Structure 1
Amino acid sequence: MVMDEQLLEIYELCPAIDCDEISLVASSGVRSLPAFDRPLQITTREVGLLKGLPWVRTLGKLSVEVSTQGWRFPSPDDPLPEAAPRPDKPKNEPAQARAKTRVKPPSDMVMFKDRLLYLLQPPLENLFANKQVELPFPPYPYQIKGIAFLMPRYAALIADEMGLGKTAQVIIALRLLFQSGLIHRALIVCPKPLVVNWTRELKLWAADLPYEVLGGDVSARKAQWYASKCPVKLVNYELLTRDEDFVGDPEVHFDIVVLDEAQRIKNRESKAARVARSISRDRSWAMTGTPIENRIDDLINLFAFIDPDRVPPDTPVKLLPELTRDAILRRVKEEVMTDMPPKVIQDVYLDLSPAQRASYDLAESEGVIHLNELGETVTVQHVFELVLRLKQICNFDPRTGDSAKLEQIVADMDEVAENGRKAIVFSQWVEPLETLAQALQPFGPMQYHGKIPQRERQPILDRFKTDKSKHVLLMSYGTGSVGLNLQFTNYVFLFDRWWNPAIEDQAINRAHRIGQKETVFVKRFICQDTIEGRIAEVLEKKRQLFEEMLGQNGPPPSLGLNEDEIFALFDVRPRGKRQTG
C-alpha cells in the first residue's frame, strides 16, 4: 500500500485483534508491530475528519497488510551504531513562527468523538501561515489563542479589554466553524451604531462568508427571519426586540447566536434580555469588555443567556470564579500587547472660578438642607438630582458661563493643534458639548452625540479623520464609548466623569486600541473640593473591585453603590435609618 509520507509521520496504526476499525494515535513515525499468535485481519472504514475544512486531511479507505518483524538487540560485544547528528534548531526564529496554538476542547465536553475532533487539528498558526484561509494580515498571537478558545465552546464570553480586537477573533472563529461544516446559520446582534462596523469587519476577515443586515418593514424582516438562506444574519438590538414574535419561534433556529456589547442584557428583566434568551440556538457567545459594570449580578445575568445551567440566578458570589472560569476569556492590553504604545492617564485638579464657587456653595447648602427636610421621605433619586446639579455647575456656571475646565481645555487644544494632533472630548451631556463647540472654533470642532442623525455620524468620523483642520471631536459617552475605532487620535479629555469606570475605559479605548502607533494621553478634569472629588474616590474603589473579580482573586460583594454610600456623598441619611442611643 502506498500511504502519504506526511500522514505516516503524523499517525501510526495500532490495530486491535478482530476489530472493525483503526485508532489513530499521534506519533513521530510508524513503529513496528509485535508478532501475534494468530494472523491479524483488519477491516477498515472511512474516517472523515471535519470534511470540507481545507486544513484537515480526510483519510480514505485503507487496505493494509500488516507484517511483523523483530529487532536483534546488540550483544555487549557489538559496537553500538553512531547516532545520527541532530539537526541544529533555528536560533533566530520569530516567537510567533514557533508558536503552536491548538484548539483544545473545553472541560465540559465529555464525548470522546467530540474531543477527538478538536484534538486532531493542526496548530492554527499552520493554517494561517499556509494561506489555507486567506486573511488580510496575520492575527496577533493572543488573538489566535482567542480563536482557539471560542471554536470548541458552545457557551463562551470573550471579555477582552476594549481595543484588543474581539470582533476579528469572533469572525475568524465563525468562519472556521462554517468551513468545517459545524455551523450553517449564525445570528449576530449588536447596537445599531455598530452595524456598519460589523459589515466592514466581515468583509475584511471573512470576505467569502455571505451575510445580510436585517431591515425594512415588518413583512420584509419576516421574510428574512423565515425564508432567507443567508448563513449570517446581522441585526441590531432594537429590531431584535421589535421582532420578538419571529425571533422566539422555534422554527427560526440558529446554530450560533453572538451578542456584541452584551452588557445590553445585564438587566435580566429587560425586553432585550428576555428576547435574546428566547432565541432557539445551539451555541451562545457573548462579547463585552465590561462584563461587570455595576454589580456582580451583571455577570450572572449574562450567563442567563450564555449558559443558564452553569450559573443559576441564586449562585453564591464566592462560587462565580470557579463556575465561570472555563467559559470566560479576559485579557488586558498590558498583558498581551507589550509593544503597544502606553496609555498615560492624568487627573487634572482645577479650582472653580469665583462665580462657579459661589454658585456651587449655594446650591450644595440649599440642596443638603432640602434633603434633610425631606426626612424619612428622602430617596436616592433626590440625592442624584442634587449630584447632577452640582456636576453641571462644575462644568459651567449657570449665571455667567464661567468654566475652569473650559480655560484648561482651550490651553490644551492650543498644544494639540500646534503639533498637528487630534483630540476627543467626552461629556455625559449634550449641552456642554454644544457650548464647547462654540468656544473651540479655532480648532475645527466636530460633534458626535445623540442629537446627530444616525446617517450623518459616519461621515463626521470620516471627515474628522481626513481633514487636517479638524483637531477636536466632541462626543457624548452614550454614543462614543462603544465600538468606534479612533486610533488616529492621541489625546482624550474627560470633561466630566461618568458614574461607571467601565464606561470611561470604553471611551478612552476608542483611541488606545490596535493600530495606535503613539502614546495616548488622557486627562480627567476634576474640580477640587466638589462632588467630583468624592465621585472620583468612589470610581477608583469600583475599578479595583472590577479588576479583583475578573482577575479571579476573590469576588467583591458588589460593584454598585448601596444606599448608605449614596447618601454619604452629602453626609445625610433617611431619618428612619439613623442610629439611636
Structure 2
Amino acid sequence: MVLNALAGFRQTAMDYLAANRQDIVLDFSGDCYNIRLPDEDSPEGNWVSTLKFSDADNLTFASCSCPDGDCCVHLMTAFFSAYDAHGWLPLHHKFNSSFWYALFYKLFMERAHLHADGDKHYSITTSCATVEIAALSPASFTEWLPIVHQTPEPTIYTEKTFLQSALYRIAKRFFFFSEDGARLDLIENSQGFPTQFSMQWEGISLKGEILDFSTLEDLFPKINFSQTSLPGNYGDFSVTAVRVAPEESKIYFTMEPVKQDLKNQPVTQIGSVGYIAGTQQVILPAEETSVSLHIISLLPAELKKQILSLLHYDAEKRPIRYSIHFLRDSSISFSAYLDTPGDLENGELIYPDFCYVPERGLFTVEGLLSPQISFTIKVDQVEDFLNTKGFLIREPGFEVFTDQVPEGQLTYNITQQGVLLFHYNTGDPAAIDIHYGPWIYYSGQGFFLQRKANLEIQDGLIVDADQIPSFIMKHEVVLRTIPNFFAPTPPLKNLFFEVHKESKGSGLYLKPVFQGLEEENCRLFGVFLYRENLGFNLLPTPLQSLCSLPKKVLPEQVPDFIHQNFQNDKLVFADSQLRTPETFELVILSITRPHPSSPLHLHLELKTNIGSIPLGVVLQALKNKKAFAFTKAGFLNFQHCLFQFLKQFISAQKCQIPENTVIATVTDIFKLDALAPLSTHKNINASASDLAFFSQLKAACLPPIPQSLFSTDHKLRPYQNSGLLWLWFLYNHRLSGLLCDEMGLGKTHQATALLDIVFQSAEPTERPKFLVVCPTSVLPHWEHTLATHLPTVSIFSFHGPNKPEHLPPADVIITSYGTLRQNYAKFYKLSFSVTVFDEIHMAKNKNSQIHKILCRLDSQMKLGLTGTPIENNLLEFKGLLDIILPNYLPSDALFKKLFTKKNAAEADDEIIPSQDLLLKLTRPFILRRTKKLVLPELPEKVESIIPCTLSPEQKKLCLSTLKREKAQIQQLESPEEQTVNYLHVFALLNHLKQICNHPAIFFKNPDKYREHESGKWEAFVRLLHDSLASGCKVVVFSQYIHMIRIIMLYLEEIGVKYASIQGKSLNRKEEIEYFTTDPECRVFVGSLLAAGTGINLTAGNVVIMYDRWWNPAKENQALDRVHRIGQKNTVFIYKLMTEDTLEERIHYLIEKKIRLLDKVISTQDSNILHMLNREDLITILSYKDERNGVEDTIDSISDASEEPLI
C-alpha cells in the first residue's frame, strides 16, 4: 500500500537516482533504513528518509523530513537506492544472505570477543574461525573506532543482540567494501581447501581462516564469487523458466550459470557449490530467484532483456479502460478491460503499472483505479474516490472536471417543505443528477466539482426555508441572472395571518392570507413573497414587520403568544376558542350541604363573555397539569389567579370533578368571589336556608346585635357599632380579621365590646377564654379598659418580674409581646376563643420569632389591631394577614409576582393591575376608617412648615462633613455599575441631620449647647415662646435623645414645667397624667418612637416636630396622640425644616412618596429610607434648586463663602 501511494513519483525518482546515486548516503540496521538524499531546497542540504521493509522487498513504512512528509519523490528515490546496483534485492536482504553476515554471525554465536592486540590491531579467535583486522593509517583508524566502540562491550545486551554488537557493524562495513569494489582473496590451505581469505580497502586490512570443514560448507557457498579474485566469469548466466506471480507482484526465473570446461578435473563439493582445487574454479548450481515488478527497470540490461523476452512483454504503456455503471443506491460499479469489455476475465492486474494475461503476456498499463478488475465504490465512498482517483477516469461521459461547469442553465425550485434547490437544466428530460458531496454527476457529461467552480450559486445548492430571506438579500445581483427568480410586482392589497390550532397537539400555526392574490399559490419566506411559477417579490415596507411573527407556536409558547398578540389587528383569531376572555363569572347551578355546619357544595359552571363550560372541564385540565385549554368559554390560561386557586381544591380533595362541584368554606367563597364574581342561576337548585346563607355571605349582610347581649353600655359611636357588627360576623363564621381604623378612633373600645358579646353569648358550660397581646407601654391602658367594660370577667396581667410560674385560669389574660416571646410554651397549651393582637404591626417580619409564635397560637378568632397595616412594604402587610388567615393568600413568591412592581425601573405612579384583586381578596377581613370620614366633628388639624436657616458654624460643619465623604458621593454619581457602601451614605445623612438640628448633638455634648449656634434652635425658641404666650400646651417630638436633653435644659432654665417620655422611661403613666391634669405643666417632650404609640396627649394643641422621621407613618402615629377623640381644640402642627439642606430635599421626597401612597397604598413602601434609590440619594446629596434652576455637585464645594450643599 505504501508503494502504491508513491507510484506517481516512480519516473521522477529514477531520474533523480541516476543523477545523484554517488551522493546518496545510506545506512541500515536490520530491515530499517536511514537514507540522506542531497537537495538544495533543504536547510541542511539533504532530506532524511526513513524506510522499513518486511520480508524481502515489501515496504511497510516510509517517512521523510521534507514538508511533504509521508508522500514525496524523496521516499520513492530512497526506495530505489535501497537496492544494489543490479536491482536484484534490497541491500539489507542481500547483506543477510552474504558471506560477511554469515561469518560474523557465526563468530557472535560462538561468543567470540574482539581483542585489541596493540596499536590499531584487533583479533577474533574461535574454534571454527579466526579473523585479524588492522588499520593501516591513523586516518583509517579514526574512522574505524566508532564501528568498534559505538556500544561498550561486552555487556549483557550486546552479548545477546547481534544487531547491536560491534561484530554486526564490522560485517556490514566489509559488506559495503565489497559493494564498493573491494575484492575478496581466497587462498587454499595445505589440503587444497579455500579456507584462508583476506581483503584490503580504504586503509583497513582483514585476514582470516576457516578452521573446520562444516563451517566452510556453511560459509563458502554464500560468497559472491563475482566479487573475489578467483578465476572465472561468474556474471555469465542464462535465464530459463520465467513465470509471473501477480499476487506477489514478482517475476520468478531460474539462472543457469554458463557451463565450464572441467577437463575431467576432480570436483570437491563444498556445501551447494563445487570446487576444483588448484585451479580454484567454482561450479555454481542453477538457482531460482525472483525480482519485484516495481524495480524491473533497475535490472541490468542483459538480465532484463532475457526475462522480458520470455514473457512476451509489451513495454509501451497501454491505457486501462473501464465499463462504468450506476447501481440502484447510486453506488458505482467499475469493470476494467484492455481492448474490449471482458478481455481481462482470465487476467490479473498488478497495481499500479502492470497487467498480466496468461495467453497474451505482461503489459505496462496506466490509469488503473484499483488492484481488482471489477469493483464497486459504495455511495458514501464516492466523494473520497473522486478526490483521490477521479483524475484517472478517462471514459467519455464519466470524466472528472474540477474547474468547469456542465452544459445547461442554472434554475431552481421550491420543495413542498419550503426548501430552495438550485440545479442545472441540461435540456434532457431523462437526464439525472446525482450528488456526492461537492461532486455532481450529470448524465452524459461527467462529474463536476461545484466548490471549485468559485461561484456564489451552484448546482446542488440547498437553502433551508428559514435561511431563504437572508440568502436572497446577500445574492440578489446573481439571482437576477436566473430566469424567473424574481417576479413582476404582485397586485397584493394586504396581508393577514389566520391563527389556527394544530390538528394534533396543543400548538398553533399561522396561515398567511394574501388579499388580492386569492387565485395564486403563494408562500411567505420572511419578507419575501413567493408566487408559484412566477418567482419572488419583496413585501411592501408596511407589511414587512409582520414577518417577525412565528409560523408555528410551540405549546409552551401559546399563552405568551396569545397574550401579546390578541389585540394585533393583523392577526385573525377566527376560532372563539383562541380568544382570551375579558370577564369571568362563576354561575352556581345548585347548592347543597350535607350538614348545617358543613361547607357549601357548589355545582358551578364557568361563564365568560365568550361562552360557558362546566367547571369540571377546567378542574380536569388542572388535574392533568395542563398549562392552558382551548374551550367554548375561550382560551383559558391557567396562570390566571382564578385557576391557580382552583388548583387548591384539587390538591385538598375538595372537589368532585364529574359533578362539576367544589366544596367551599366561607373563606373559599370570599376568595372565589374576588377572583370571579359568584352568581346564582335563575333556576338554581338549593334549599331556602342554604340560599339565604350564601346570599348573606355574598352581600356581607350584618344583622344587628341584640343589646341584651352586652354586660354594660359601651357607648359606641355609630361607626364603632358598625365595626362591632363586622367583628361579630367574623367570629360567628370562625374567621379572623384586621381592624385598621386610624389612630384615635377606638380600636381598643371595639375589640373590648367584641369580647363582651362573645362572653355573654356563650353557653354556660362553654366559658370562653381570651388573650390580649400588646406593647408594654399600653398594658395599663388595656387593664383599665377591660376592667371598666367587662366587670363580670376575670382578668389577669401576665407580665413583670412577679408573674407566676403557670398561667392562672382567668377569663382574659393580658401580656406583652416580649413576655409572650419568652414564655410562649405556656400559651401553646391553651385554646382561646378570641385573641387580640394590639399594634400587630410589631410582628410584621415573617422571619421574626414573635411572628412565628403568633401564628402557632390556637384561637378560634385572631383579631389584629393596627393603625398602620402597611408600614414598610406589601410583603409585611401579607405577614400580618398570614397571622390571622394562614394560607389564605398565595405564597410569598407568587404574591410578590402578582401584587408588587416587577422591577425598579417602573414609574413611581404606575398602578399595579392586580391592586383591585388584592383589595377584593382582603376586603372581607380588613376594616379601616379615617377620622375625616367618621368624625367630621373632630377639631381641625393645621399643619405648617417652618423654614429655618443654617448658622455660619452649621454651614462650616456641613461643608467639612461632605468633603470628608466625597468619595462615597462620587460613587453614587458615577454612571458605571459598582458597589456603593450605603451604610456609609446613610451615616452621612444622619450626621447632616444632626448638624441641622444643633451642632451640640453632632458633637454629643448637649450640656454645652449654648457654646454653639443653630438657626433651627432659634426658630424653635421663638415658636415655643409664642405658643406658651398664647396659653397653649405644647408637645415637642424629636428622634434624638441629645436634642430632647437640650430642650429640657432650656425649659428648666426659663422655669417652664414639663413632662417627658423617652425610650427608657418607666413612669410613662405618671408623666402623661402630669401633663394632662396639671395646668402648670405646659410642655410635653418625647422621643418620636417612645411617645408615638399607646398614649393620649389630647391636653396639648400645639405640636412641634423638631426634626423629621424617615417614616411618615411614625410621624402620623405621634401626631395622632394629640389629634384624636377627646381633643376639643384645633391642633396646630409645626414641622421645622432647614432650607437649602438635605432636610428640604427629604421633605420634598416625602411629599412625593406620600402622594403616591395615597394613590396606591397597598403597593408602596412608606419608609423613606426603604424608598430611597440611587437617584434619590444623588438628589439629596447633589441638590438641584428646581425653583431657581441651579444644580450643584460635590465638585463645586470649596472653602469660599458660597452656600454649602448638604
Same fold (TM > 0.5) = yes
Pairing partner for 1:149 from 723, 726, 732: 726
CA gap 1:404/1:205 in 2 versus in 1, 3 angstroms: farther
Q: For 1:208 and 1:163, how far apart are their aligned partners in 2? A: 27
Q: Does 1:462 align with 2:1057?
A: no
Q: CA deviation at 1:222?
A: 4.3
Asked if 1:430 is matched to 2:1045, the reply is no
Secondary structure in 2 matching 1:471: strand
1:414 is matched with 1025
Partner residue of 1:368 out of 945, 963, 966: 966
Matches of 1:203 and 1:420 in 2, distance apart? Answer: 36
Q: Which whole-Å deviations, capped at 9, do the CAs of 1:284-334 have from their partners, x for residues lacking one?
A: 111111111121112111111011322232322124222111111111111
Q: Does 1:294 align with 2:872?
A: yes
Matched residues in 1 for 2:783 and 2:777: separation? 11
Q: Which residue matches 1:387?
A: 989
Q: Structure 1 residue 221: deviation in Å?
A: 4.4
Shift of 1:420: 2.8
Q: Distance in 1 between matches of 2:1015 and 2:1149?
A: 23
Paired with 2:1030 and 2:982, the residues of 1 have a C-alpha distance of 46
Tell me how far 1:161 sits from its aligned partner: 0.8
Structure 2: which amino acid aligns with 1:358? K
How far apart, in 1, do the equivalents of 2:1069 and 2:1120 lie?
18
CA distance in 2, matches of 1:478, 1:179: 38
Offset of 1:239 from its aligned partner?
0.5
Shift of 1:217: 5.5
Q: Which residue of 2 aligns with 1:181?
A: 762
Contact 1:464/1:470 (8 A) holds in 2: yes
Q: Distance in 2 between matches of 1:115 and 1:211?
A: 38
* Partner residue in 2 for 1:8: none
Change in CA separation of 1:195 and 1:526 when aligned onto 2, cut-off 3 Å: same
Give the drift of 1:542: 3.1
Whole-Å separation in 2 of the counterparts to 1:281 and 1:338: 37
Measured in 2, the distance between the counterparts of 1:213 and 1:155 equals: 24
2:1032 is equivalent to residue 449 of structure 1: no
Is 1:564 the counterpart of 2:1174? The answer is: yes
1:191 counterpart = 2:793: no
The offset of 1:402, in angstroms, is 1.9
Separation in 2 of the partners of 1:467 and 1:331? 33
Q: What corresponds to 1:307 in structure 2?
A: 885
Secondary structure of 2:806's aligned partner:
helix
**Cα distance in structure 2, aligned partners of 1:295 and 1:222:** 39
Larger Rg: 2
Structure 1 Cα separation of the partners of residues 709 and 1029 of structure 2: 45
In 2, are the aligned partners of 1:350 and 1:404 still within 8 Å (CA)? yes
User: In structure 1, the residue corresponding to 2:877 is in which secondary structure?
Assistant: helix
Judge which range, 301-310 or 105-114, deviates more.
105-114
Kindly indicate whether the alpha-carbon contact (under 8 Å) linking 1:501 and 1:542 is maintained by their aligned counterparts in 2: no
Residues 258, 286 of structure 1: 8 Å contact kept: yes
Q: Quick check: 1:360–1:393 contact (8 Å CA) kept in 2?
A: yes
Q: Secondary structure at the match of 1:293?
A: coil
Correspondence for 1:472: 1083
> Where do 1:123-134 residues align within 5 Å?
123-124=704-705, 127=707, 133-134=711-712
C-alpha contact 1:296 1:558 (8 A) present in aligned 2:
no
> CA offset at residue 468 of structure 1?
1.8
| Cα distance in 1 for residues equivalent to 2:1148 and 2:982 | 19
Shift of 1:116: 11
SS in 2 for 1:478: coil
Selected match of 1:492 from 1084, 1098, 1103 = 1103
Match of 1:238 in 2: 818
CA deviation after TM superposition for structure 1 residue 269, in Å: 0.5
Amino acid at match of 1:428: Q
CA distance in 2, matches of 1:481, 1:345: 18
**8 Å CA contact 1:341, 1:517 repeated in 2:** yes
1:109–1:378: structure 2 CA closer, same or farther, 3 Å change rule?
A: closer
Partner of 1:158: 739
Helix, strand or coil at the partner of 1:184: coil
Once the two structures are superposed, the pairs formed by residues 275-354 of structure 1 within 5 Å of their partners are 275-312=853-890, 313-314=892-893, 315=895, 316-317=898-899, 318=914, 319-354=917-952
The CA deviation string for residues 347-377 of structure 1, in whole angstroms up to 9 with x for no partner, is: 1111112221221232223323344379945
- Of Structure 1 and Structure 2, which has the larger fraction of its residues in strand? 2
Q: Which structure is richer in relative contact order (CA contacts within 8 A, separation 6 or more)?
A: 1
Q: Equivalents in 1 of 2:1135, 2:743: separation in Å?
A: 19
Q: Which ranges of structure 1 fall in alignment gaps of 5 or more residues?
A: 1-20, 22-104, 573-581
TM-score by length of 2: 0.36
Q: What's the TM-score once normalised by structure 1's chain length? A: 0.72
In structure 1, the partner of 2:790 is 206
Distance 1:433 1:558, change over 3 A: closer
Q: Which amino acid aligns with 1:518?
A: N
Over 3 Å counting, the alpha-carbon distance change for 1:380 and 1:310 in structure 2 is same
Given the superposition, is the C-alpha separation of residues 329 and 214 from structure 1 closer, same or farther in structure 2, using an over 3 Å criterion? same
| Aligned equivalents of 1:216, 1:475: Cα separation in 2 | 24
Q: Any idea what SS the aligned residue of 2:782 has?
A: helix
Q: How far did 1:212 drift?
A: 0.8
| 1:519 maps to 2:1130 | yes
**3-state secondary structure, aligned to 2:1064:** coil
- Alpha carbons 2:1036, 2:1106 under 8 Å: kept: yes
Q: Aligned AA for 1:215?
A: H
Partner of 2:95: none
Cα distance change of structure 1 residues 121 and 348 upon mapping to structure 2, 3 Å threshold: closer
Query: Higher helix proportion, which one?
Result: 1
Query: Could you tell me how far 1:181 is from its partner in structure 2?
Result: 1.1
Q: CA RMSD in A?
A: 3.0
CA pair 207-540 structure 1, distance change in 2 beyond 3 A? farther
Q: Deviations over 1:191-210 (max 9, x none)?
A: 10110111111123323332
* Cα pair 1:406 1:436 within 8 Å, conserved: no
Partner of 2:473 in structure 1?
none
From the superposition, tell whether residues 122 and 354 of structure 1 become closer, same or farther in structure 2 (CA, over 3 Å). Answer: same
Q: Which residue of 2 aligns with 1:506?
A: 1117
Rounded Cα–Cα distance in structure 2 between residues aligned with 1:464 and 1:410? 20
Q: Measured at CA, do residues 143 and 286 of structure 1 come closer, stay the same or move farther in structure 2, by a change above 3 Å?
A: same
Q: What SS does the corresponding residue of 1:223 show, helix, strand or coil?
A: coil
- Tell me, yes or no, if the aligned pair for 1:256 and 1:282 is still in contact at 8 Å: yes
**Partner Cα separation in structure 1 for residue 885 and residue 1059 of structure 2:** 43
Deviations 1:91-144 (A, max 9, x none): xxxxxxxxxxxxxx99649995988999999634x62xx8954226x2111111
Measure how far apart 1:531 and its partner are. Answer: 1.1
TM-superposed CA distance for 1:335, in Å, is: 0.6
Distance in 1 (CA, whole Å) between partners of 2:750 and 2:810 is: 21
Task: Give the aligned partner of residue 538 of structure 1.
Answer: 1149
**Partner Cα distance (1:261, 1:285) in 2:** 11
How many aligned residue pairs are there? 454
Instruction: Note the C-alpha offset of 1:467.
Output: 2.0
Deviation at 1:406?
2.0
> Is the 1:214–1:234 Cα contact (8 Å) retained in structure 2?
yes
Contact 1:380–1:567 (Cα < 8 Å) also in 2: no
Take 1:544 and 1:534, find their aligned partners in 2: how far apart are those partners?
16
Q: Residue 462 of structure 1: SS of its match in structure 2?
A: helix
Alignment of 1:217-236 (within 5 A): 220-224=803-807, 228-236=808-816
Q: Structure 1 418/120 Cα, relative in aligned 2: closer, same or farther at 3 Å?
A: closer
